[in-house]
Structure 1
């Protein structure tokens, strides 16, 4: 039986990102098929999803305070900036 192909991100998958410790287990969520197709087509979908989640938490005022969080504003602006801005309302 043939071995499944090796993922191209095998060496970088689930690694610490920019000196920010990552959770031990990844989050997982199912999406409607049409949205899933759009997200999976993103060139760097993992970072895009992180950016989207952080952007939403920031808008809701739920990001931890800078002095207690490994994600402070200087790190966020440099390493976790959104790939694309949210549309203006």
Structure 2
């Protein structure tokens, strides 16, 4: 058994996205910006951000979709 976390996404057989949002923590704002750039370069669609969102004063995130339309969020927030 590997000693690292495992994460998998099961797509619809017809490649139809659902309404789920999968979110991940980022180490800092630079990582959020880096992921946003990677999404753009790899054919995904940034739907919002990267920017501060009014969820909290330090909620810096990017929301995006992969080429199949699945929704994701990368967020950095200070406690």
Of structures 1 and 2, the larger Rg is shown by: 1
Q: Does TM, normalized by the shorter one, top 0.5?
A: no
What is the TM-score of this pair, normalised by structure 2?
0.27
Greater percentage in strand:
2
Point out which structure has higher relative CO (alpha carbons under 8 A, 6+ apart). 2
